[in-house]
Amino acid sequence: MQRAEVMIKDPGPGRDAALRVIRRSGILLSFVRDVTPMPHSGCRPPKKDEIAGSTRTLQWKCVESRIDSKRLYYGRFVLSPLMKGQVDTIGIAMRRILLEEIEGTCITRAKSEKVPHEYSTLVGIEESVHEILMNLKEIVLRSNLYGTRDASICVKGPRYITAQDIILPPSVEIVYTTQHIATLTEPLDLCIGLQIQRDRGYRMRPTNNSQDGSYPIDVVSMPVRNANHSIYSYGNGNEKQEIFFLEIWTNGSLTPKEALHEASLNLKKNKKEIALKCIFIDQSELPSRTYNCLKRSNIYILLDLLSNSQEDLMKVEYFRIEDVKQIVDILQKYFTINLPKTKFSF
What CATH number is given to the structural domain containing 297?
1.10.150.20
- Which candidate, 52, 121, 21, 82, places its Cα nearest to that of 230? 82
**pTM of the predicted structure, to 2 decimals:** 0.66
Tell me how far apart the alpha carbons of residues 261 and 20 are, in angstroms, rounded to a whole number.
68
**Based on the structure, what is the number of domains in the chain?**
4
**Pair 269, 307 in one domain:** no
Shared domain check, 183 and 129: yes
> φ, ψ for residue 203 (rounded to 5)?
-135, 125
Residue 343 lies in a domain: no
DSSP 167: B
**One domain for residues 163 and 135:** yes
Q: Bin 100: left if φ > 0, else alpha if -120 < ψ < 50, else beta.
A: alpha
Residue 208 covered by a domain:
yes
Mean pLDDT, residues 155-163: 94
Answer yes or no: do 261 and 122 share one domain. Answer: no
Residue 346's Cβ-side half-sphere holds a number of Cα atoms within 13 Å equal to: 0
Q: Are residues 128 and 183 in the same domain?
A: yes
User: Among the listed ranges 51-60, 176-185, 321-330, which one has the minimum average pLDDT value?
Assistant: 51-60
Does residue 46 sit within a domain?
A: no
Are 66 and 208 within 8 A, CB to CB? no
Residue 254 and residue 318 in one domain: no
8-43 per-position pLDDT tens digit:
665 555 666 666 666 666 665 554 555 555 444 444
Q: What radius of gyration do the chain's Cα atoms show?
A: 34
**pLDDT > 50? residue 345:** no
Q: Would you tell me how many other CB atoms lie within 10 Å of the CB of residue 64?
A: 12
Query: Which CATH number characterizes residue 163's domain?
Result: 2.170.120.12
CATH of the domain at 240: 3.30.1360.10
**195 and 253 co-located in one domain:** no
Confirm whether 90 is domain-assigned. yes
DSSP state of 122: -
Are the C-beta atoms of residues 140 and 178 closer than 8 Å to each other?
A: no
Q: Is residue 41 part of a domain?
A: no
Q: What pLDDT is stored for residue 49 in this prediction? A: 40
Q: What is the pLDDT of residue 293?
A: 87
Phi-psi region of 285 (alpha: psi -120 to 50; beta: other; left: phi over 0): left
- Do residues 188 and 115 both lie within one domain? yes
Q: What are residue 184's DSSP bridge partners?
A: 125, 159
Given pLDDT bands bounded at 50, 70 and 90, which one contains residue 197? very high
Same-domain status, 290 and 206: no
> Residue 327: which domain range?
281-335
pLDDT tens profile 234-247:
887 667 888 999 99
Q: Is residue 340 part of a domain?
A: no
DSSP 3-state of 277 = helix
127 and 259 together in one domain:
no
First to last CA, the chain: 94
Quote the pLDDT of residue 41: 41
Same domain, 235 and 208: no
DSSP state of 165: G
Residue 54's identity, in one-letter code, is S
pLDDT digits (tens, 9 = 90+) for 59-103: 899 999 999 998 999 999 999 888 877 788 788 888 888 998 899
